[in-house]
C-alpha cells in the first residue's frame, strides 16, 4: 500500500500514528485556504530527512484520505447536495423540467459542470504536477502566492451574485483557477473563493460554490489515484493501519468547513494570509536547510 525506498538501514513501516498525523494535516488543509498539497509536501520532506527513508507515492493511502474529506463535504452540505440531486432527476422527466421550484438547482448544476471542465487539463498534467511537490522552493512560492490571493480577497466587498444570477463566464473563471490550483502549494479552496469574490459573488455563495465544486474535483482525483494504486498493487493488510488517518481527515475536514464558513461570513481571511506567507517562507528555508 505504501512503498518506502530506504537509503540505508531498515525501512520504517506505516504506523497508525503517522497515518493519523497525515490525516489530520490533509483533512484540515484540504478545505482551509492553506493548500493541503503544500503541507503534505513539507511534511513528507521533513519525514524523509528524519528517518532517512523516502515515502514513495502512497497512492492507495491518498485515496482513503480523500474519501474521508469527501464524506465531510457531503455531510456539511447535505441539504444543498440533496437539492442538486432533485434538480438533476427533474431533467430526466418532462414533468420535472416544468417545475419552477427546481430551476435554480438545475442552473447551479450547469455552473458546476462548466467550472469542472478545466480540471481535465490538470488531469493531463498530473505527472508533471506531482514532480513539482518535491521542490520545496516552488511549493513555498506557491504558498506565498496563495497568501497574496487571500489578501486580495480580503480587500473585496461581498458581491451580489448567487446561484440565480452568476453567469457561465463566472463559473468558467472559477474553474480555470481551480485547474491551476493542482500546483502544489496553491490552495484550491482559497483560489476558487478568491476568484468568486473577484467575479462579484456573494461571500456565502462563493464559499458554497467552492465546496460543491470540490466534490467532482476530489472524486476525479480519487479515481485517478485508485487506478494507479490498483496498477501498482494494493496490500490489504495495511488498510486497517490507515483507518485512523481516514477518520482524522473526516473530522478535521468537517471542522475546517464550519470554520471557513463562519470566517467567510465575517469577510476576513487575514489569519490565513499571514499563515500562508509564514509556511511558504518556512518551505523555502527547508528546501535549502534539509538534505536532498
Residue-level pLDDT at 99? 66
Which residues lie below 8 Å from residue 90, measured CB to CB, with a gap of 6+?
96, 97, 99, 102, 105, 106
Confidence of residue 11 (pLDDT cuts 50, 70, 90): very low
Average pLDDT over residues 37-57: 77
Is residue 227 one of the residues assigned to a domain?
yes
Phi, psi at 165, each rounded to 5°: -115, -10
Residue-level pLDDT at 254? 93
Is it the case that residue 274 has pLDDT exceeding 50?
yes
Closest CA relative to residue 85, chosen from 253, 254, 215: 215
Residue-level pLDDT at 54? 65
Which residues lie below 8 Å from residue 97, measured CB to CB, with a gap of 6+?
90, 91
Range of the domain at 153: 14-289
Segment (H or E) for 227: helix 203-232
**CA distance linking residue 144 with residue 185, whole number of Å:** 8
Residue-level pLDDT at 170? 96
Residue-level pLDDT at 147? 93
Confidence of residue 236 (pLDDT cuts 50, 70, 90): low
Is it the case that residue 127 has pLDDT exceeding 80?
no
**CA distance linking residue 42 with residue 95, whole number of Å:** 53
Is it the case that residue 252 has pLDDT exceeding 90?
yes
Is it the case that residue 228 has pLDDT exceeding 80?
no
CA dihedral 167, 168, 172, 178 (to 10 degrees): 60
Is it the case that residue 267 has pLDDT exceeding 70?
no
Is residue 212 one of the residues assigned to a domain?
yes
**CA distance linking residue 178 with residue 186, whole number of Å:** 9
Is it the case that residue 2 has pLDDT exceeding 70?
no
Domain count, the chain: 1
Is residue 245 one of the residues assigned to a domain?
yes
Which residues lie below 8 Å from residue 174, measured CB to CB, with a gap of 6+?
115, 192, 195, 196, 199, 209, 210, 213
Is residue 218 one of the residues assigned to a domain?
yes
Predicted confidence (pLDDT) per residue in 205-219, tens digit? 998 999 899 888 888
Q: How many CA atoms lie within 13 A of 264 on its CB side?
A: 28
Is it the case that residue 95 has pLDDT exceeding 80?
no
Other CB atoms closer than 10 Å to residue 289's CB: what's the count? 10
Is it the case that residue 224 has pLDDT exceeding 80?
no
Is residue 148 one of the residues assigned to a domain?
yes
What integer best gives the mean pLDDT of the chain?
Answer: 82
Is it the case that residue 102 has pLDDT exceeding 90?
no
Among 131-140, 201-210, 238-247, whose mean pLDDT is lowest?
238-247
233: left (phi over 0), alpha (psi -120 to 50) or beta: left
Is residue 57 one of the residues assigned to a domain?
yes
Is residue 146 one of the residues assigned to a domain?
yes
This prediction's pTM: 0.83
Is it the case that residue 5 has pLDDT exceeding 50?
no
Residue-level pLDDT at 233? 64
Is it the case that residue 10 has pLDDT exceeding 50?
no
Amino acid at each position: 500500500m505504501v512503498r518506502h525506498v530506504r537509503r540505508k538501514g531498515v525501512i520504517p513501516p506505516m504506523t497508525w500514528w503517522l497515518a493519523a498525523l497525515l490525516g489530520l494535516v490533509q483533512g484540515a488543509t484540504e478545505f482551509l485556504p492553506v493548500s493541503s498539497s503544500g503541507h503534505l509536501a513539507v511534511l513528507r520532506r521533513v519525514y524523509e530527512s528524519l528517518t532517512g527513508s523516502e515515502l514513495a507515492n502512497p497512492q492507495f493511502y491518498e485515496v482513503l484520505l480523500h474519501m474521508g474529506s469527501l464524506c465531510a463535504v457531503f455531510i456539511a452540505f447535505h441539504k444543498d447536495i440533496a437539492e442538486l440531486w432533485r434538480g438533476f432527476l427533474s431533467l430526466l422527466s418532462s414533468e420535472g423540467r416544468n417545475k419552477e421550484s427546481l430551476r435554480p438547482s438545475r442552473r447551479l448544476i450547469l455552473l458546476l459542470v462548466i467550472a469542472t471542465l478545466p480540471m481535465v487539463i490538470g488531469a493531463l498534467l498530473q505527472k508533471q504536477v506531482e514532480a513539482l511537490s518535491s521542490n520545496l522552493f516552488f511549493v513555498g512560492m506557491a504558498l506565498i502566492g496563495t497568501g497574496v490571493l487571500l489578501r486580495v480577497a480580503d480587500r473585496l466587498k461581498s458581491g451580489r451574485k448567487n446561484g440565480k444570477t452568476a453567469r457561465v463566464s463566472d463559473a468558467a473563471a472559477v474553474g480555470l483557477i481551480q485547474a491551476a490550483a493542482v500546483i502544489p502549494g496553491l490552495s484550491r479552496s482559497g483560489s476558487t473563493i478568491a476568484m468568486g469574490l473577484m467575479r462579484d459573488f456573494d461571500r456565502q455563495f462563493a464559499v458554497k460554490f467552492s465546496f460543491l465544486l470540490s466534490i467532482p474535483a476530489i472524486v476525479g482525483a480519487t479515481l485517478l489515484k485508485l487506478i494507479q494504486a490498483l496498477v501498482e498493487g494494493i496490500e490489504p493488510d495495511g488498510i486497517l493501519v490507515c483507518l485512523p488517518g481516514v477518520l482524522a481527515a473526516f473530522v478535521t475536514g468537517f471542522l475546517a468547513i464550519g470554520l471557513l464558513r463562519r470566517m467567510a461570513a465575517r469577510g476576513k481571511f487575514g489569519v490565513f494570509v499571514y499563515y500562508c506567507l509564514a509556511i511558504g517562507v518556512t518551505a523555502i528555508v527547508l528546501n535549502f536547510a534539509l538534505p536532498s
